[in-house]
Homo-oligomer: A and B are copies of this chain.
Amino acid sequence: MTENDIKFMKRAIELAQEGMNSNAGGPFGAVVVKNGEIIAEGFNRVTSTNDPTAHAEVTAIRAACTKLGTFQLDDCIIYTSCEPCPMCLGAIYWARPKAVFYGCDKVDAAKIDFDDQFIYEELDKEIGDRNIKFVQILQKEARVAFDKWEEKEGKTEY
């Protein structure tokens, strides 16, 4: 843990409080750092923007990608005031930063009624056993788009 790590995590925690105090959403903040500088900040905006995906990490990742003009966070570090939920963890893997520092963990989050653990457990279940009903239909028809993607020339892969 370096001086910079402490500084950036403190900023993420500060953002968590700023977001909460301004009634943007839950008490979560995040920053994205590249080359020792903060390039984007975010806090939870779920309830104020009616966007269930507007968690601190997603908000910060989107802002960082916009700033960098890319959909990949190469060589970036994310500092988040709380361990990412499964959605944010997925977003982090798609964005591919080199590291993530987090403050609170999912046990702390569960104590204030943000129960990420439930979603982690649902992900581990067979798709037919989940709490939300998942049904596969028209697989053959849907594959046509995938076949066309394979044949497509000049596509941007990711």
Interface residues, chain A, with chain B CB atoms under 8 Å away:
1, 5-6, 9-10, 12-13, 16-17, 20, 23, 25-29, 46-47, 50-53, 58, 61-62, 65-66, 68-73, 81-83, 85-105, 108-109, 111-113, 118-120, 122-124, 127, 132-139, 141-146, 148-150, 152, 155-158
The contact of A137 among B6, B72, B127, by CB within 8 Å, is: B6
Q: Report B-chain residues with C-beta under 8 Å of the C-beta of A146.
A: 27, 82, 104, 108-109, 111-112
Q: Report B-chain residues with C-beta under 8 Å of the C-beta of A5.
A: 137
Inter-chain contact B96/A156, CB cutoff 8 Å: no
Inter-chain contact A145/B81, CB cutoff 8 Å: yes
